[in-house]
């Protein structure tokens, strides 16, 4: 894939695959393009060149008769329901209750009945420990609680892949653990693929099958977390890990 913002090439011929059920963590310096990758997979950014497939389906463009063709919006929307994303800044709908936040997309995008959506939401809110706040508004909750609800909301769409962009970076330090614990449970109990950007290296070690070190729009090296964190091959990886640990 290629991504440019104007003349600025952010991702230059990047190519990687996440297998079904695999958990891949992206690490690398600020500005290296990690968020851009996740936003491209979420189709929040237009891909400049190349292709992205999720579950075998092309997301934004497909090859037809040797040509790169834009996929019509209606078909795009169908595939993007397989993708869930949680952002750094809790982006719950502020004017909705917790329950309304979680049932919104299942009802309006998947077409679930309200009763079915509520039942599903209750079980997911229970899983993230937030069922007791289902009638609260986001503004009444801590950042950690809001992130746990954002995770439940993403899971309510039964995603094939969950994209997590520094979901604990904006939290007060004492709230980080509760969010990571929820994510570890989900990683252990489901086979949802995950593409994770995080600076929490212990968490990355615990949940990742593979860690990709990323710099200036390309992969510097990739390996198991054990390998990357204890014996990185490249000086750039060593320098990065040294700077953040």
Task: Kindly report the number of other CB atoms within 10 A of residue 89's CB atom.
Answer: 13
- 94 binding ligand ADP? (CB under 6 A): no
- 175 binding ligand ADP? (CB under 6 A): no
DSSP state of 60: S
Among Mg ion, ligand ADP, none, partner that 93 touches (CB below 5 to 8 angstroms by kind): none
Write out the H or E segment, with its range, that includes residue 1: none
C-beta closer to ligand ADP: residue 160 or 165: 165
- 198 binding ligand ADP? (CB under 6 A): no
CB of 35 to Mg ion, least distance (A): 3
- 168 binding ligand ADP? (CB under 6 A): no
Among Mg ion, ligand ADP, none, partner that 208 touches (CB below 5 to 8 angstroms by kind): none
Which residues in 22-61 contact ligand ADP (CB under 6 A)? 30-36
184-189 LR contacts (CB < 8 Å, sep 24+): 185/127, 186/127, 186/151, 186/155, 186/162, 187/23
DSSP assignment string, 191-230: --EEEEE-S-HHHHHHH-SEEEEEETTEEEEEE-HHHHHH
Specify burial of residue 37 (Cβ count, 10 A radius: 0-12, 13-18, 19+): buried
- 195 binding ligand ADP? (CB under 6 A): no
Task: Kindly report the number of other CB atoms within 10 A of residue 41's CB atom.
Answer: 22
Write out the H or E segment, with its range, that includes residue 27: strand 23-27
C-beta closer to Mg ion: residue 29 or 50: 29
C-beta closer to ligand ADP: residue 35 or 168: 35
CB of 213 to ligand ADP, least distance (A): 12
CB of 215 to ligand ADP, least distance (A): 9
Among Mg ion, ligand ADP, none, partner that 10 touches (CB below 5 to 8 angstroms by kind): ligand ADP
Which residues of this protein are in contact with Mg ion, per CB under 5 A? Answer: 34-35
- 10 binding ligand ADP? (CB under 6 A): yes
């Amino acid at each position: 894939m290629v991504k440019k913002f104007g003349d600025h090439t952010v991702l230059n011929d990047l190519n990687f695959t996440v297998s079904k059920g695999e958990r891949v963590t992206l690490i690398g310096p600020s500005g290296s393009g990690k968020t851009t990758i996740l936003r491209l997979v979420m189709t929040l950014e237009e891909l400049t060149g190349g292709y992205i497939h999720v579950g075998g389906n092309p997301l934004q463009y497909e090859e037809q008769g040797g040509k790169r063709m834009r996929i019509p919006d209606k078909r795009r929307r169908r595939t993007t329901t397989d993708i869930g994303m949680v952002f750094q800044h809790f982006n719950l709908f502020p004017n909705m209750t917790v329950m309304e936040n979680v049932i919104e997309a299942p009802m309006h995008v998947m077409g679930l009945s309200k009763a079915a959506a509520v039942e599903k939401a209750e079980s997911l809110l229970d899983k993230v420990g937030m069922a007791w706040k289902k009638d609260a508004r986001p503004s009444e909750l801590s950042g950690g609680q809001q992130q746990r609800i954002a995770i439940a909301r993403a899971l309510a769409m039964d995603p094939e892949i969950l994209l997590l962009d520094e979901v604990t970076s904006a939290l007060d330090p004492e709230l980080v653990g509760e969010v990571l614990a929820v994510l570890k449970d989900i990683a252990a109990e489901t086979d949802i693929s995950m593409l994770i950007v995080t600076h929490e290296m212990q968490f990355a070690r615990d949940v990742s099958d593979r860690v990709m070190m990323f710099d200036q729009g390309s992969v510097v090296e990739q390996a198991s977390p054990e390998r990357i964190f204890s014996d990185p091959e490249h000086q750039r990886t060593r320098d990065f890990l040294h700077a953040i640990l």
